[in-house]
Amino acid sequence: MSEAALPNHPLRFELSNELHARPFPELKAPCRAAFLAIKKPEKAVERDRSLDRKHLIELLDRYGAPHPAPNAGHYSGQVGRGFLKWEMHTEFVTYTIFADDVAAVPFDSAVFSIFPKDWLADAPGAVLTSALVRVEEYKDQAELDHILDTKIPNWFVPESLAASRVIDDEAIVAGDFRIDEAGHVRFAVLTKPEIGLRRLGRIVQRLLEIETYKTSSMLTLPIARSVSRRVGELDQDLTELVQRMASGTGDEIGTLDRLLKMAADIELLSSSTAFRFGAAGAYEAIVHRRIGVLREERLMGRQLFSEFMTRRYDPAMRTCRSAQGRLNDLSARAERAANLLRTRVDVASAEQNHKVLQQMDRRAALQLRLQGTVEGLSVVAISYYAVSLTGYLLTPLADGFGVDKTGVLALATIPVIALVFLISRRIRKHIGH
């Protein structure tokens, strides 16, 4: 590009490097791997990445190994007699030790001695899973048959064993996903001599990822069972409330209060489990994707890893999805019921307001009638006093014409009453306008 080219986005190189930040290990049979996944404490809202890096540095310092880059989320380097691969994830951090050769005793956990006991005790979290991988090489079909007939049945529980040919028949993987007496899950990889170093590394890495994400997604199963029980209780309460609404027994305000409280409980349950259900779905997809890229082929009638997951893993995930679906359905039903009841309360309130307005109209009409009566009486009273005043005013003048006071009052009464009536009527019309 020329010097006058457009400037690069500030994240361009960082995002590009992220795609190549976690290369697969290069392995050569025979070899072995020890894997450890440490999950954040259950009560922690978010994983403290600084504690994980500090814990890693403590391990590296014991072996005089170089430190990772600041704020790095991954690390690879020689540690003692093994090669360490460290990765940080959203919920857990993983440590993998790759060592040459295999132990004389199959799946001997001595390789875990690279992790000091006091260092493990200070880990910021708890062990999510740990695994041992044994990688052996076979030269021909006879040697493979010997391993499958004599070693594999002793290494794994036959009832749970899953084994298959993978990656264009260049390797055979086996495992039973059971925790052995030392507390580790076992995997065996049998390879042909001509398999590539990176291809073998990818196989081992994917087996460890299958175990890790399988275990991580299974953490949702107890929560799903708890949610199912609680959803059943809330569903029964909601059904009773809806039946009460349908029967029209009244007390809509009290029913609406109960329904709103139930909706709040459902929302709390949904928000507190949303992350776990979402993580389970993501981890499940990764498990099946990792198995898919192995490109399994059947090995002498044994069940495939995909078949093992279909039979034993998928039902647990369906339980999780069912619990999440029931919770979402209950939330939608509670919202519909609340809207329906709120509409009924609004209609009842409108009807009550209409009755109040009618009563107010009747009272206003009565007040107008009373006001008219009072106005009539007031005309009489005002006229009485006006006639009296007129009598006092005209009596002296009437004496010169020989008219007495009584005659004056009689002559003035009708005109005065008419005048007072007209004046009061004019005032009322003016106030009305």
Clarify whether residues 32 and 178 are in a common domain. yes
Domain shared by 294 and 409, yes or no = no
Same domain, residue pair 259 and 120: no
What local confidence, expressed as pLDDT, does residue 376 receive? 67
Instruction: Name which residue leads in pLDDT, 349 or 213.
Output: 213
Tens digit of pLDDT for each residue in 54-82?
A: 999 999 999 999 999 888 888 999 998 89
In a domain, 420, yes or no: yes
Among the candidates 296, 325, 356, a domain finishes at 356
Whether residue 319 is contained in a domain is answered as yes
Average pLDDT, the chain: 87
Question: Do residue 192 and residue 58 come from a single domain?
Answer: yes
- For residue 207, being part of any structural domain is answered with no
Specify the pTM.
0.78
Residue 1 confidence (pLDDT): 47
Does one domain contain both 155 and 185?
yes
Q: Which of 169-178, 398-407, 420-429 has the highest mean pLDDT?
A: 169-178
Range of the domain at 301: 220-356
pLDDT band at 220 (very low <50, low <70, confident <90, very high): very high
Please give the average per-residue pLDDT across 109-121, as a whole number: 90
Q: Given 134, 164, 196, which residue is the final one in a domain?
A: 196
Look at 4 and 401; give whichever has higher pLDDT.
Answer: 401
- The CATH number of residue 323's host domain is 1.20.58
Overall domain count for the chain: 3
Do 65 and 106 sit in the same domain of this protein? yes
Model confidence at 280: pLDDT above 60:
yes
Instruction: For residue 254, tell me if it sits in a domain.
Output: yes
419 vs 298: which has the higher pLDDT = 298
Tell me which of 371 and 83 has the higher pLDDT: 83
Q: What is the pLDDT of residue 433?
A: 55
Q: Which residue has the higher pLDDT, 267 or 17?
A: 267
Write out the chain in H/E/C secondary structure. CCCCCCCCCCCHHHHHHHCCCCCCCCCCCCEEEEEEEEECCCCCCCCCHHHHHHHHHHHHHHHCCCCCCCCCCEEEEEECCEEEEEEECCCEEEEEEEEECCCCCCCCHHHHHHCCHHHHHCCCCEEEEEEEEEEEECCCHHHHHHHHHHHHHHHCCHHHCEEEEECCCCEEEEEEEEECCCCCEEEEEEECCCCCHHHHHHHHHHHHHHHHHHHHHHCHHHHHHHHHHHHHHHHHHHHHHHHHHHHCCCCHHHHHHHHHHHHHHHHHHHHHHHHHHHHHHHHHHHHHHHHHHCCCEECCCCCCHHHHHHHHHHHHHHHHHHHHHHHHHHHHHHHHHHHHHHHHHHHHHHHHHHHHHHHHHHHHHHHHHHHHHHHHHHHHHHHHHHHHHHHHHHHHHHHCCCCCHHHHHHHHHHHHHHHHHHHHHHHHHHHHC
Same domain, 315 and 383: no
